Amino acid sequence: MAEQPDYYVKSAEKTLAVLLAFDAGHQSLTVTQVAEAISVSRAAARRFLLTLVDLGYLEADGNAYRQTPRVLDIGASYLSGLTLPQVARPHLQSLAVELSETTALCVLDEQDILYVERISNPRLHSMNVSIGNRLPAWATSMGRVLVAELPEAAREEFLANAQLRNYTSKTVASIGQLRAELDLVRAQGWSLVAQELDEGLRGLAVPVYRGAQLLGALNVSVQPGRIGSTSITEEMLPLMRRTAKNIADDFGGRTAARN
């Protein structure tokens, strides 16, 4: 290995190596895993991790650590001219045409989801939702995907503050039922909500990850009588996951960076 120049700061290299150790396949890492990934002692790895927690780039999740949205600040100057909605729009348009359904991209804001991009299908039953509108996260497929992906403590805090109400006869009835639904969504990686917020609407959602960072949730709205629930997941999920990956890659995801 070539000798490093006098100005070279080894700790800077290791700090970046810690952040890069997190990816789509390693969204949560322990001290031991980080130590092995960057070839340092557990004590050194712990110091790097705790420093990054103090700086806001990582958060503790039990004995493991996860990245926070602040990691996006590192590339903010490069990406400042390109917003997530701008990147997502052509992909949402293509998916809407392919499925003949309304597509949307949402983010989580406390107890609500916030629509940041939406491509409407004129023939679909309308809830009169547009970009910038909010809906209760617990009652939507997008919200359940986003909440399910939160660290356990943040997820429990969300549940403690959730104010359930009966929008329809199919609306989730209790916090216990909602918690069980979130566990299922986290395990399977997608959410299907059928007429819980509106009698004329079903929604299927998947997460959009940029590396290890959750950017938002991709949603397709489906009329109740148009397609069966089994067909929704079989026919739409592969296309939605492909679209989510394309959005993340175009926004500077890890896959795009490697190509």
Domain boundaries, the chain: 10-74, 82-258
Per-residue pLDDT of the chain (259 residues; tens, 9 = 90+): 457 788 888 899 999 999 999 876 788 999 999 999 999 999 999 999 999 999 999 999 899 999 988 887 776 555 455 588 888 999 999 999 888 888 999 999 889 998 888 988 755 544 555 677 888 999 999 999 999 999 999 999 999 999 998 988 899 989 999 999 999 999 999 999 988 888 878 899 999 998 888 999 999 988 766 655 557 778 899 999 999 999 998 887 544 343 3
Hey, what are 32's tokens? Answer: 């031991």
Question: What's the CATH number of domain 10-74, 1.10.10.10, 3.90.550.10, 3.40.50.2300, 1.10.760.10?
Answer: 1.10.10.10
User: One fold for both 10-74 and 82-258?
Assistant: no
Q: What pLDDT does residue 81 have?
A: 53
The fold of 82-258 is: Beta-Lactamase (3.30.450)
Q: What pLDDT does residue 71 have?
A: 82
